[in-house]
Structure 1
Amino acid sequence: MSADLQRLNQRLASAKPSATYRIIDRVAERRAQGARIISLCAGEPDFDTPEHVRQAAIQAIEEGHTRYTQVAGVRSLREAVADKFRRENGLDVTWQDTLICSGGKQVIYNALAATLNEGDEIIVPAPYWVSYPEMVELCGGQARIVICNAETGFKLTPAALAAAITDRTRWLILNSPSNPTGAVYSRVELEALAQVLLTNPQVLILADDIYEHLIFDEQTFVTLAQAEPRLMPRTLTMNGVSKAYAMTGWRIGFATGPRWLLHAMEKLQGQQTSGASSISQQAARAALAGPKDFIHQSRAVFQRRRDLMVSRLNQIPGLACEAPGGAFYAFACCAGLIGRTTAAGRTLRTDEDVALALLDEANVAVVQGSAFGLGPYIRIAYALDDASLHQACDAIGRFCQNLR
């Protein structure tokens, strides 16, 4: 087969595979070889989808909701989404100000693909979710990475935002609570960022609120357009049911924003995937409109697991971890391990070396922080039962104690 025949789109050829999925694939290979791996790498709740949501999907099948839907989603779900934004986020929107997509990832990709031209810059605070920069590059833009280290709580400051904005800036992506750090922006912090954005009217804002309901210590969640309503005409606020309702496989994301942008995203989606799964849409409507007991219960479980993990990790020589304010990730500094040698003779030069050595020698899977734009850290997803988390910490502890 000729090399010319295998020629790829240049943007795709330069894109990097998801670091998370690379680790997941390696876990699958190790397990296929008989290894017993504790995986702390996937951003997926370990709970079952709530019973009333599953029953709504079964009912949808039995009632014949198995056909194509409108590209933007069925009206009943869009009304439930609008009601959610009004009730929970204080955003004055109607169902016509909403869009349903096949997962939150599609919301983000469609927004970027619909608006970016060559040379447009997108401000991406780091640490960032691994897909943000790759999506930007695939859509023809340039990711302008702004490092937000532990001294700022891994959060973007107004000064750093102002310094990053240029006449080519098209978007700011803001994720709170954050993947991978669990950092949560307060209303005061959002208002301060908003002051910078108000003086730069050319900048669109993408508020990724997918971990909205996983927020700890009785904090109050605030989204950017809620903190500063004057930004609503240029803010896309996205969310979904995957994390809050343990519906990762149902693939439903949604957004509200300016209608010109939603119409452009709908146009793109109409030539791409068309409407999301009809059955999943009915299930998502039941989740948003139904009881919220599941959210409160899962949040309490995740906060307890957070406390467990942070306490255990800080007892391990070479690791240091601040308590995250939300999501279900611990972002642990592993600088104390760099330069040391494992029991198997591997020298740990980077946080990726640490992650791979933990998998190969301790049978614990984590993801290196450098994949999220900041090292030397490791991201640990504590979406597992307490017994597995204790076993993982025991294994990590033994690994670190045996370093030379």
Structure 2
Amino acid sequence: MLTEQSAAVVRATLPVVAEHIEQITPVFYHRIFTAHPELLRDLFNRGNQANAAQSRALARSIATFASMLVEHPDRRPDEMLARIAHKHASLGVTPDQYPIVRRHLFAAIADVLGDAVTEEVAAAWDEVYWLMAGALIALEARLYARAGVTGGDVWRPWEVVGRTEETPDVATFALRPADGGPVPPFRPGQYVSVQVELPDGARQIRQYSLSCAPGGADRWISVKRVTGDPAGEVSNWLHANVRENDLLTVSAPFGDVVLDDTDSPLLLASAGIGCTPMISMLAHLAASGATRPVTVVHADRSERTHPFRADLGRLTEKIPHAVTHVWYEHPEGPWPAERVGLADLSDIEIPHDTRAYLCGPVPFMRSVRTQLLRRGVPASRVHYEVFGPDLGLERDGQTIGSSASMTSNS
């Protein structure tokens, strides 16, 4: 909780900081990468830096946290903090990195706002920063303890014991600990980080959902080759270079968007490669003999680009009360797809006590979430996973759930 004096200063200066924060964050990143080039080389996602996505997401996170402190001092944005903490933990972020971020962030604020940053203003925003940093450090410590690792020591070598081409652009890599140690448990919906050394010597990190059911000797990740500008450095490297018997550096599993263990009806909605956490959830439900109602919604460009298409049918057949609805924008088969076009839930039965999980491009999740809210599903029962900077889902013009790691590539 902010002191009264700092709360008054933050409340008074929040509009001007919010107005300029998207100018502040590029200056911050320039400063921190100039002083610590290894962070851009080995920790931050270079693609997100190139297209400014990280800057926009970071700006929203800071503004969201500061606004919550002054408008709702008895609450804090736990969902946002948990999401950032899980991403930080999957990267091995440690408390000693927070002072580095603070130093360059406050220098950037001073550069942009100039004389407006008085000692009083700097002290108030310093309090905001350390309240947020302190909350994240505590959450990350608990996550490391739960994972059974020393803070930040999340990496292990894993052997690739199989590779399956799911589609022309999606490959599944089956992994097993190369050190012969135990396979860490995970919950359906969680992800791991994969660190690879690229040709220029950079060690870039990306998160990938686990696409298998918990249990068993192996862990699967399913990677879509990202084309375009910028192209996915890590995904293209994995597709081009990784084969059976190769080694990958992989983190312990993390992630806060996980399948609940109640009997309430489920809606699992995905688009494209967003199906990976849903396939893990379905595999778990099928293996555990679940009888709860499950509605699966998936949207894709065509049958050819739909990862796990056969697995989707096989798994839902094992769940007594599961139904599947698939949309293809451009069906290629001899028969029309069940549905053509974009995902539309208007004629799908959705009980009011449904718990929904969404994963896919932000426009898809925003559309599905809006439809669910209009159908009476409470916002608290709609969960979503975003890979890359989380620019938030919007409702009635307000951004909610926006989060970004201040020291990671999320």
TM-score tier after normalising by the smaller chain length: under 0.3
Please report the TM-score for the alignment, with normalisation by the length of structure 2.
0.26
Choose between structure 1 and 2: higher strand proportion. Answer: 2
Higher relative contact order, structure no. (Cα contacts within 8 Å, ≥ 6 residues apart): 1
